[in-house]
Amino acid sequence: MKIIALVPVRNEAWVLEHSLAFWSGFCDVVIVNDQMSSDATREICRRFPKVVLLESKPADTVARLPQQARWRLLDAARHYDGHNLLWCTDADELTPPTFAQRFFEQHAGELTPRRVIECRFYNLWGSLAKYRQDLSSYGPIWKPMGFVDDRVVDYPRGEVRPLHEPRMPIETDLAALEAEALPILHLQWTVWNRNQMKQAWYRCIDFMDKRMTGAEVNAFYSVTLPEIYVHTEPVPQEWLADVTLPDAAVDRQPAWQEAEILGWFEQRGVEFFEPLEIWHLPSLRQEFRRRTGREPRPDRSYLPSRAVRARKFGRRVYNAVKRRILP
């Protein structure tokens, strides 16, 4: 059995040097599907002997969609014989290799075809030294990260939405192996400004897909908006013993998604996107003002009444103060 990492990437040079080193530490092969990156992503991939790089072409529209990129990765993994363990991950999800090696050695006899591996998934929050610890969707959760390929299971390859499809063709397993001692460190929320632009990019894609109204898109992504208070805990030092972390200073540089969004403003008109809650981002708000001479009015009809919001906010403040005061 081989362990094969499957990774779709686009402009991930800021973190890829680190994550490829981690996967190379416990995987036999790392298959990367590059979706026409304009940074140093491909050059970084070529420096790692275990990496197999799949490069998309401008005309290859299939590989531009995240879900269809995963189809291509699965197909490439099946060029290797046997019932291999496929590790389905993203570039900003760090897997400590020593923890992974130990887990797979200890559970080798349980890695049978169609067995799913679930890991504790931690969102590092605003810092490389803290993770979010609460009951929100960004607190620690169990997340399917890999499965043993039976060489039959497949994604539903009909019409799909551009986003939000499952990362693995099989994610539900009542007998899933729970890797409590194998933490996954998600870095998306350590680069706060870039992530907010990424979430705006997601909103625009979903809205252009025309399957949701502006209010529905805003409701779906409301959990990604900036929050006043988030409870965090220090990242245990043992998780970082055999890993290196990227420089979060990249957050001061413009995200590639911003250029694409501005291009969509040019193609469709900025007012097409007005219903979306993306205008808290200064560069987008400034562009809207420049083009229209007024302030944007996003559709917030999904929100409850002000009275309900005030009560909810009061409860959150009370609970936050309580956590800080009481032992």
Question: Could you report the average pLDDT of every consecutive run of 10 residues in the chain (327 residues)?
Answer: 96 95 96 93 96 77 63 96 97 95 95 96 94 94 96 85 80 90 95 95 94 95 92 94 86 93 97 98 98 97 73 63 55
Cα-Cα-Cα-Cα dihedral of 12, 17, 23, 26, to 10°?
180
108 CB neighbour count, 10 Å cutoff: 10
User: In this predicted structure, what is the pLDDT of residue 20?
Assistant: 97
Question: CB-based contacts of 51: which residues, under 8 Å, 6+ apart?
Answer: 20, 24, 30, 31, 32, 45
Q: DSSP states of 35-61 as a string? A: ---SSSHHHHHTT-TTEEEEE--TT-H
User: In this predicted structure, what is the pLDDT of residue 87?
Assistant: 98
Is the pTM higher than 0.85? The answer reads yes
Burial of 301-319, coded b for 16+ CB within 10 Å and e otherwise, reads eeeeeeeeeeeeeeeeeee
